[in-house]
Amino acid sequence: MKNILEKFCSKNKNGQEEIVGFVVIVVIVSVIILVLLSFILTNTDENVVESYEVESFIQSMLQYTTSCENQLEFLS
């Protein structure tokens, strides 16, 4: 009888160890995914700011008035 109990307990331990290992793998993968998502989401915000800065620079350059005149009007 003791031999049967030892085999049963041994199978239980192996199953629990496999479940713990699986949970550890799932946690590690989910943490990696969260880190990657945070990098992706923060990079898109910076691109929007850079695009806004470039657009503002282009608009300011287009509005610059030169000292050249064409029939009493300044050329842009």
Segment 26-74, tens digit of pLDDT: 999 999 999 999 888 776 555 555 677 888 888 887 777 666 777 667 6
Sorted by sequence, the CB contacts under 8 Å of residue 64 that are 6+ apart come out as: 76
Say how far apart CA 67 and CA 76 lie, in whole Å: 9
Say which residues have a Cβ less than 8 Å from residue 42's Cβ, sequence separation at least 6. none
- Cite the beta strand spans of 1-76 per DSSP E: 69-70, 73-74
Q: Band the pLDDT of 13: cuts 50, 70, 90.
A: confident
Read off the tokens for 50.
Answer: 């850079």
